[in-house]
Amino acid sequence: MQEKREIQKKPNLFVYDIIGGLVVLIGRLKWHFKFEGVKPKGPALVISNHTSNIDWIVEGGVSWPRPMTFMVTYHFFTFKFIGFLLRKLARAVPKYQFSTDLASIRKIKSVLHDSNGLVYIAPEGTVWGSGSLGHISYAICKMIRMMNVPVYASKIQGAGLGCAKWSSRLHKAHVSVNTQLLFTEEDIKKLSINEIHDKIVNYLDYNEFDYQKEKNIICKDKDIAQGLENMIYICPECGSEFTITTEGNTVSCTKCGAKAHMKPDFRFDWEAKKQYFDNYSQWYDWQLEQMKKFVSKDNFKMEEEVDYGIDIPGVNNYQIVGHGKITLTKDGWDYEGSFKDEQIKEHDDLRQVPLATLKMGKHFELPYRFEHCRVFYTNPGTHAMKWHLASRAITELLAETDN
């Protein structure tokens, strides 16, 4: 049977020539964008690490003035105005995260093979916010094989400091992006999936605090720690969970009183029994290691009451349509509760749905199902990070077992 043909329109050139140029100029002035390496030539895939919410601005500058088609998580299409801009002007390709999406694949093929265009994909699938590279699925390697076009890779550094995913606001940053040709068509044909994966990880690997030290990046704002409780939830001194609060440049535990003051170089000065972590990246990594120990136990189980949200066409963002209990064990994800006017039970196998993405401080999301995106609102919203971290720990443990 012949594959269904689906033509993807090119991005609106006005957006890239005028608006795109203006956005890149603002980025250069506000965040000191510095572009190094080569400009991608189509047809090609362009991939990068995903450090912050301004990465789309950075990547737009990588190819400017040549337009690039962005693959964007469907979450952003649920907002009326943003969805309009993405569909009608940027002509981005919506992607349901961590699920097989044949319509998106066909659109990407159209851009590459019908228009000799550029397609941008962030293989981490979500902004991790931890200051270092997150989990990269082998699915991107299979896509690279399928598309059989050159692949460029951009390493972004600095955006995750001043524009951190967990932060309440944007701060001063010095952002550099280095773009190189990572794979030719000949490379893709001769390399194994594991070799492709290793090369991607090795090139995109980064650490924001090594970069900060190298460039001596300083931010003297008075609220650079504000919002860190959306990512950091375990106190290293007393072990309490969800007792972390932030005010200005100070992170505190409400139970034991331990404090960490974030200095202008984004590093911590502790008022505690000892200097626990130099920076939030180390704190996050420690939490991940604690979670890996937790999910490795035979009786591992997490459960919590949540509100169930879905996307509804024509309605901004997700709408709450139910309330119930979500459970995560070695058997998978289970939701039991209401959905609209019904009582339902949903089950997702861990190997099909290992990783939950999140909106820090608000909700976590499981992949598209039943014609809807599914989000689960925790109360308080800071709990969403623990669910995400548990899913990341499981994902990485499963990957170690499989490989």
Query: Tokens 């119930």 belong to which residue?
Result: 324
Report the pLDDT value the prediction gives residue 27, as an integer from 0 to 100: 79
275 and 333, same domain (yes or no): no
The reply to whether 223 falls in a domain is no
Tell me, what's the pLDDT at 99? 57
Same domain, 79 and 186: yes
Identify whether 238 is part of a domain.
yes
pTM score of the predicted model: 0.88
Same domain assignment for residues 306 and 257? no
Rounded Cα–Cα distance for residues 147 and 160 (Å): 30
Q: What confidence score (pLDDT) does residue 2 get?
A: 43
Q: Are residues 200 and 133 in the same domain?
A: yes
Dist CA 200 CA 182 (whole Å): 8
Residue with tokens 């440049």: 249
Distance CA 179, CA 152 (A): 7
Q: Is residue 1 part of a domain?
A: no
Find the domain containing 52 and state its range.
13-215
Residue 2: inside a domain: no
| Within-domain flag for 131 | yes
pLDDT recorded at residue 100 = 59
- Give me the pLDDT at residue 22, please: 79
What's the CA gap between 43 and 150, in Å, rounded?
7
* DSSP string over 327-392: EEETTEEEEEEEETTEEEEEEE-TTTS---EEETTTEEEEEEETTEEEEEE-SSGGGHHHHHHHHH
* pLDDT at residue 101 in the model: 66
Instruction: Show which of 181, 215, 249 is a domain's final residue.
Output: 215
Q: Determine, yes or no, domain membership for 60.
A: yes
* 147 CB-near residues (< 8 Å, 6+ apart): 45, 108, 109, 112
**Are residue 244 and residue 266 in the same domain, yes or no?**
yes
- Structural domain count of the chain: 3
Whether 136 is in a domain gets the answer yes
- Cα separation, 355 vs 391, whole angstroms: 5
Q: Tokens representing 129?
A: 């916010």
Could you tell me if 159 and 246 lie in one domain?
Answer: no
Say if 5 falls within a structural domain. Answer: no
Domain stop point among 249, 275, 294: 294
Q: Are residues 284 and 314 in the same domain?
A: no
Last residue of a domain, one of 189, 215, 241: 215
**Are 62 and 157 found together in one domain?**
yes
Instruction: Answer yes or no: do 71 and 197 share one domain.
Output: yes
Same domain, 162 and 205: yes
pLDDT along the chain (403 residues), means of 10: 58 71 79 91 93 83 86 72 71 68 81 90 83 88 93 94 86 90 96 96 96 93 94 97 97 98 96 96 96 94 96 80 96 95 92 83 85 89 95 86 67
Specify burial of residue 336 (Cβ count, 10 A radius: 0-12, 13-18, 19+): middle
